[in-house]
Amino acid sequence: MPTQSTTKKAIAYITKNDELMVFTHTDFPEAGVQVPAGTVEENEEPSEAVLREIYEESGVKGVRILELLGIYQYNMAPDRDEIQERYVYHLELTQSTPSTWQHWEIHSSTSKNSIAFDFYWIKLDGSDLGLAGGQGYFLSKLAHKIKNTENAANT
């Protein structure tokens, strides 16, 4: 029996106060709501990959890594015979962005054509927010951390 390949992925939870930056595919809404994420390239650290993916997918450069929230394994079956080792980072926005914007990813690994993404902000509520492909794995942990930080700031 063949073994599944393992691919390293970097996932970005970018926050602005208690909101998370998310997007949908303009031409493929069935792909669901997602956060910036992508493959960690050979000889690249996951922390470098997450910053590169954010810029490629959103056009946003003004972010700062706050912490690695955790690492988990995600089985892509039945879509692909692949296990993803996912590195999930919490980042904060350090530049202003519109409340909504569209960006075209030009360096996509899945297409020679650019792919349009529609970005917006959604309030963290402690759930996985229905993110596609298991991307919401650490959102409850993130929401808890943000709430505790806000409570500490108010005391």
Residue 51: C-alpha distances to residues 74, 84, 87, 98, 115 (Å): 21, 18, 12, 19, 19
Element (H, E) at 144: helix 139-153
Task: Tell me how far apart the alpha carbons of residues 40 and 48 are, in angstroms, rounded to a whole number.
Answer: 8
Choosing from 56, 82, 85, 92, which is the catalytic residue?
Answer: 56
56 is catalytic: yes
Catalytic residues: 56
